[in-house]
């Protein structure tokens, strides 16, 4: 892993406006007719960086904003606020045409490979299409040759190239998705829960394949997962997300060895262990995760935190460096 920053994310926000209809959204405020949407704050001022060759993971409960963060970083969504830098170039608001060279360098592997593969295309077409579109190869014959090499590299047989996605198992379909991502020689891959839809026996094979490919091609990963044992196994660094924000971030050994934020402790204490010492003493959060439409005032975890104080309800804690390279956002630290 090098020191060169590949991705830098600064103050990233992603908001979605929920409006039932134009007339329903109108209301009178201070004697004026205004349009008042409900706003979902899916990602809330997120900062992180990913170095060349590094695996950075985002973890947290469903709905915490990790997948939306990933989709915004790769520019499937345009950020509402904040900046995304790719090798120092601000790509936050580039248009479709301006984004093309970056689309080639940044690829995504999805949770459900079946949903992300065109069922009407043969595997060969699925893998060759991005190569031809981005001009990675000059002729269809070169594309076919490279497609067969990639299929072999990810553990598929080139004779299967004429089949359709539904003729493969879940694990094989994920291998097709990986081959398609590799087809354009990316430098950065976002893997959004790439193994959570697969049988446990297949998960390890796909994870090992992803790690072998990283070592071979030297690319960086933004890895999205809720399975902490997977994250612990593959990450260099990780960020723990709660309600759209990062509450703790650091080196894998630091975060797993000494979790600091109360929410991280809650998350870790929920991991079932068989015959092993639990990651942390049991600690439970109160109630349910609040709606991103109605953010708690002050600390986002204040409604559920067993350690909250009066200050937590009125003042938002900032992410600060508690020990070298290990950050957390809590007034108690
Ligand atoms: S700031 Fe307060 S409410 Fe938030 S995690 Fe820390 S102790 Fe809990």
- Can you give the residue ranges of every domain in the chain? 5-105+186-328
Tens digits of residue pLDDT in 310-330: 999 899 999 999 999 999 999
Could you count the other beta carbons within 10 Å of the beta carbon of residue 164? 15
Q: Does the pLDDT of residue 150 top 60, yes or no?
A: yes
Among residues 330, 325, 331, 333, the alpha carbon closest in space to that of 48 is found at 325
Q: Assess whether pLDDT exceeds 60 at residue 22.
A: no
52: CA distance to ligand 1 center in Å? 33
Whole-model pTM above 0.85?
yes
The 10s digit of each residue's pLDDT in 25-58 is: 556 666 766 665 677 888 989 999 999 999 999 9
Average pLDDT over residues 183-211: 89
Asked whether residue 281 carries a pLDDT value surpassing 80, the answer given is no
Average of pLDDT values for 271-290? 68
pLDDT on residue 329: 95
* Mean pLDDT on 7-19: 87
Q: Look at the domain 5-105+186-328 and name its fold.
A: Rossmann fold (3.40.50)
Q: Are strands 237-242 and 55-59 parallel, antiparallel or unpaired?
A: parallel
- 3-state DSSP helix/strand/coil % of the chain, to nearest 5: 35, 25, 40
Tell me the pLDDT band of 128, cut-offs 50, 70 and 90. Answer: very high
CA of residue 307 to ligand 1 center, whole Å? 6
Q: What six digits make up the tokens of 238?
A: 């990780």
Q: Which helix (H) or strand (E) holds 69?
A: helix 66-73
Q: Which residue has the CA at smallest separation from atom 1 of ligand 1?
A: 330
Helix ranges (H only) for 163-313 are 170-182, 200-217, 228-234, 252-257, 262-269
Helix (H) or strand (E) holding 13: strand 5-18
Residue 20 has pLDDT above 70, yes or no: no
Ligand 1 contact, 307 CB (< 6 A): yes
- pLDDT per position as a tens digit, 225-255: 888 888 988 999 999 999 999 999 999 999 9
Pocket test for ligand 1, best of 261, 262, 316 (most atoms within 8 A of CB): 262
In terms of Cβ atoms closer than 10 Å to its own Cβ (0-12, 13-18, 19+), residue 269 is middle
Ligand 1 pocket: which of 284, 289, 296, 312 to mutate (most atoms within 8 A of CB): 312
Average pLDDT across the chain, whole number: 87
For residue 216, give the 3-state DSSP assignment: helix
């Amino acid at each position: 892993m090098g020191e060169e920053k590949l991705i830098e994310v600064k103050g990233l926000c992603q908001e979605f406006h929920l409006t039932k209809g134009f007339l329903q959204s109108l209301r009178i405020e201070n004697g004026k007719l205004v349009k008042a949407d409900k706003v979902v704050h899916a990602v809330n001022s997120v900062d992180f960086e990913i170095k060349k060759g590094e695996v950075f993971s985002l973890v947290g409960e469903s709905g915490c904003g990790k997948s939306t963060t990933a989709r915004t970083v790769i520019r499937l969504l345009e950020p509402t606020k904040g900046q995304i830098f790719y090798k120092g170039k601000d790509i936050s608001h580039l248009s479709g045409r301006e984004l093309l060279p970056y689309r080639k360098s940044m690829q995504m592997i999805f949770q459900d490979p079946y949903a992300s593969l065109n069922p009407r295309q043969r595997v060969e077409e699925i893998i060759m299409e991005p190569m031809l579109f981005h001009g990675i190869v000059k002729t269809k014959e070169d594309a076919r040759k490279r497609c067969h090499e990639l299929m072999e590299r990810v553990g598929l047989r080139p004779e299967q190239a004429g089949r359709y996605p539904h003729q493969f198992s879940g694990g094989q379909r994920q291998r097709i998705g990986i081959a398609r991502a590799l087809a354009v020689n990316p430098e950065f891959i976002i893997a959004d829960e790439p193994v959570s839809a697969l049988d446990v026996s297949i998960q390890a094979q796909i994870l090992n394949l992803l790690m072998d490919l990283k070592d071979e091609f030297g690319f960086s990963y933004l890895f999205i997962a809720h399975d902490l044992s997977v994250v612990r196994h593959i990450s260099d660094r990780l960020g723990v997300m709660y309600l759209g924000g990062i509450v703790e971030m650091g080196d894998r050994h630091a975060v797993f060895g000494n979790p600091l934020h109360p929410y991280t402790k809650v998350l870790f204490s929920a991991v079932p262990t068989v015959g092993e010492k639990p990651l942390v003493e049991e600690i439970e959060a109160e109630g349910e995760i609040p709606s991103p439409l109605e953010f708690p005032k002050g600390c986002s975890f204040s409604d559920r935190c067993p350690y909250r104080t009066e200050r937590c309800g009125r003042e938002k804690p900032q992410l600060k460096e508690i020990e070298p390279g290990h950050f957390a956002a809590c007034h108690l630290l």
